[in-house]
Amino acid sequence: MYTKAEISSLQTLTKSFIEHPKTIELNPLRKLLKFHEYQYYVLAQPLISDYEYDTLYQQLVKLETASPHLIVSDSPTQRVGNSLNNSFETVAHLVPMLSLENSYNAEDLNDFDRKAREGALLEEITYCVEPKFDGASISLVYENDLLIRACTRGDGVAGEDITQNIKQIRSIPLSIPLSDYGIQQMEIRGEVIMSKQSFANFNEKLKANQMAVLANPRNAAAGSLRMKDPKEVAERNLDAFIYHISYFTLTQGASTPQILKTHSGSLELLWNMGFRSPQKEKKLISNIQGVIDFCTQFEMERDTLPYEIDGLVIKINDFDLQEKLGMTSHHPRWAIAYKFKARQATTILENVEFQVGRTGAVTPVAKLKAVAIGGVTVSSISMHNEEYIREKDLRLGDTVIIERAGDVIPQIVQSIPSLRNGSEAIIHFPTTCPICDYTLEKEETEAVWRCNNPVCSAQIVERMIHFVSKDAMDIKSFGDANIRKFYEMELLKNIPQIYNLNFEIIGKLEGFGKKSVDNLKTAIEASKTQPLYRLIYALGIRFVGETTAKTIAANIHHILDLENLSEEQLQSFEDVGVKVAKSIHQYFHDAKNIALIKELASLGLNMIQTNTTAVDGNLSGLNFLFTGTLTQLKRSEAEAMVEGRGGHIVSGVSSKLNYLVVGEDAGSKLEKAKKIASIKIISESDFVELIN
Ligand code: IVH
């Protein structure tokens, strides 16, 4: 799309504009912003930081505000829609949107190839194979270089106008150099997707706001297209692959560009015009056996892609040949989808259990008739909260579709009401705690029902399990099962009792030889000297994870210093926001919690931050973050090395970060860090060298 020379001159221009913003003129500024959007959203290779981009963008807004008559419809500022201005009017496609015939195995593919060869009277056919993107299909119309309309698939003949929402997808250009190719109007097809990472982030946000999570990236993408408010669409970080030119007209006197003789040529043209077409993902293969081998291999590697695909699409590469074969009333005869083995399955929702967590949240868990999906047997799926059950209208005895998408935890996609026989029963959410019978409560802003009984045995047990867990006090050889067993036997009623166990009785229990008792004793004793952050994390304060616990510990001397800190003071700690500060403040203003901490102190547990003044090592004052899988060191070892040398581990990418250490399969953190020029991005080997 951009030549090396263009990139270099655009970068020089960027530099000079950032240094002297007043010298910028409207047109070069727009060109520059488009270039940087392309680098970021299509190529995922940003060349400037978010801050620098914003500086340029704000300058454009300023110039356009001063001269509104100079605003053009493809200006980067014109993506932002007014709130709620979506029309969703029905519009006819220029050419109907067909679907593809499906194939599932080598036999189907051989069949397809045989028919095509017979129709074409050819010995062998060259195919172009590309991913079958698992999202929502769209159709775009460009006229005189400008995007004029975007539609959903609808019934294939007409779809809904979603132009304003599509403009929020930055990898879709608002204008393209159609005229350079002698094209006047062009209709193209593609798929809107949400990457696995964006999907995970999106669900995290939903969870944090106590809202029902979405089952898969496809639903998330499809749902986004019909949102009333384009601003919300912009926040969802959608992406789009464009894979098909369905129609075009030429400007007067122009002839069809040579490149439009083949499908692979059309992908190249789309790429050159600035679209994210599967230009790099496509593969040209000269016979069907090669296609079959490629499909088999690709299916095994599907999880390595950063987005979901549900198969591959095999297209005859030559357009003349495509035309010769034509189509049936439903499908083109020149293309077929090869569908990967489903990671969806249907099963029966047999029962629902209501589990009480350490914060009292009651989570409904679906107990399913066991079923295998993608090599894993699934018999139990969290349903998160009551809303999830109601929204999906799930009933006991229902046949449900469940899905395990990539690395995403299994979800219930939907029930199949047409398979009901009348015996299905409504799921009644309990009004009282299933463990202690205390009346459940739900805050207005939350979706979860909670048991607020401080002595609810389920919560006591879960809190103890958390307290001894690996990332907390790390009392090895305890384990969930022993905690439950000791609790039931009344050998262990609360956290302090962990340090006062009756080993005489425990030693007589089945499975507890002298060695295991000794191990347990040693582990409990060793936990007393754990660093302060572990204790803070182990207490199970809401919203305080391991990293926040470390931040808190680094800012105090004694744990009870927290009694004297205001919410505002807590918020001044890195990564501690309003919600977290409030929760910490509440915890340390509850007499029961203070009594618990004092009791633990009297039992000999460390309450002190031992190295409040940073270790004066060679990493003193530097912030580090690790991302991806490390191959030489364990993550915890690497982090300890940083801290041992006076450095800090931070929880996220921000301008405060000095070093991002990148392991294998790094994801969004790396992408984010690339946009902040001050962050040094180093490999694991660089890191090892650095600390030595
Ligand atoms: S080509 C006339 N290519 O799969 C051919 N479709 O039933 C038009 N899809 O509705 C489709 N990735 O939404 C094509 N690389 C790809 C695709 C793709 C995903 C979707 C598309 C279509 C459905 C096929």
What would the 3-class secondary structure string for 500-556 be? HCCHHHHHHCCCCCHHHHHHHHHHHHHHCCCCHHHHHHHCCCCCCCHHHHHHHHHCC
Ligand 1 touching residue 195 (CB < 6 A):
no
Ligand 1 touching residue 581 (CB < 6 A):
no
> Would you name the residues annotated as active-site residues?
132
The alpha carbon of 651 and the centre of ligand 1 are apart by a number of angstroms equal to 40
- Residue with the smallest CA separation from ligand 1 atom 6 is 132
**What angle do helix axes 26-37 and 4-19 make, rounded to 10 degrees?**
120
- Residue with the smallest CA separation from ligand 1 atom 18 is 132
Give the 3-state secondary structure of residue 45: coil
The average pLDDT across 176-199 equals 95
Tell me, what's the pLDDT at 324?
A: 95
What are the tokens at 21? 């913003």
pTM over 0.75: no
pLDDT greater than 60 at residue 604: yes
pLDDT greater than 90 at residue 562: yes
- Cα(263)–Cα(329) distance, rounded to whole angstroms? 22
Ligand 1 touching residue 244 (CB < 6 A):
yes
High-pLDDT (> 70) share of the chain, %: 97
Tell me, what's the pLDDT at 614?
A: 46
The alpha carbon of 138 and the centre of ligand 1 are apart by a number of angstroms equal to 10
Give the best-scoring range by mean pLDDT among 37-41, 232-236, 588-592: 588-592
Residue to mutate, 97, 127, 128, 133, ligand 1, most ligand atoms under 8 Å from C-beta: 133
pLDDT greater than 90 at residue 81: no
Q: Which long-range contacts (CB under 8 A, 24 or more apart) does 662-668 make?
A: 662/627, 662/628, 663/626, 663/627, 663/628, 663/629, 663/630, 663/631, 664/628, 664/629, 664/630, 664/631, 665/628, 665/629, 666/627, 666/628, 667/197, 667/306, 667/627, 667/628, 668/197, 668/198, 668/201
The alpha carbon of 100 and the centre of ligand 1 are apart by a number of angstroms equal to 7
Ligand 1 touching residue 130 (CB < 6 A):
yes
Say how many C-beta atoms besides its own lie within 10 A of residue 110's C-beta.
Answer: 15
What are the tokens at 195? 């990457």
The alpha carbon of 132 and the centre of ligand 1 are apart by a number of angstroms equal to 6
Tell me, what's the pLDDT at 611?
A: 60
What are the tokens at 84? 């709620």
- Cα(692)–Cα(677) distance, rounded to whole angstroms? 25
pLDDT greater than 70 at residue 224: yes
The alpha carbon of 133 and the centre of ligand 1 are apart by a number of angstroms equal to 8
Q: Which residues, 6 or more positions from 477, have their beta carbon under 8 angstroms from its beta carbon?
A: 516, 519, 520, 523
**Nearest atom within ligand 1 for CA of residue 137:** 13
The average pLDDT across 208-220 equals 78
What are the tokens at 88? 């969703």
Q: Which residues, 6 or more positions from 182, have their beta carbon under 8 angstroms from its beta carbon?
A: 250, 251, 253, 254, 255, 257
Read off the pLDDT of residues 263-320 as tens digits, 9 standing for 90 and up.
999 999 999 999 999 999 999 999 999 999 999 999 988 888 999 999 999 999 999 9
Q: Which residues, 6 or more positions from 437, have their beta carbon under 8 angstroms from its beta carbon?
A: none
The CA angle 329-113-135, to the nearest 5 degrees, is: 60
Q: Which residues, 6 or more positions from 74, have their beta carbon under 8 angstroms from its beta carbon?
A: 145, 146, 147, 173, 174, 175
Q: How confident is the model at residue 183 (pLDDT cuts 50, 70, 90)?
A: very high
Ligand 1 touching residue 154 (CB < 6 A):
no
What are the tokens at 296? 């088999």
| 43-52, 296-305, 443-452: least confidently modelled range | 43-52
Give the 3-state secondary structure of residue 403: strand
Give the best-scoring range by mean pLDDT among 55-69, 357-371, 441-455: 357-371
Q: Hey, which residues does 191 pair with through a beta bridge?
A: 137, 241
Q: Which helix or strand (DSSP H or E) is residue 671 part of?
A: helix 668-674
Ligand 1 touching residue 308 (CB < 6 A):
no
Tell me, what's the pLDDT at 612?
A: 45
Cβ–Cβ < 8 Å for 557, 565? no
Dihedral (Cα; 637, 640, 644, 645), 10-degree rounding: 80
The average pLDDT across 538-559 equals 91
Q: How confident is the model at residue 84 (pLDDT cuts 50, 70, 90)?
A: low
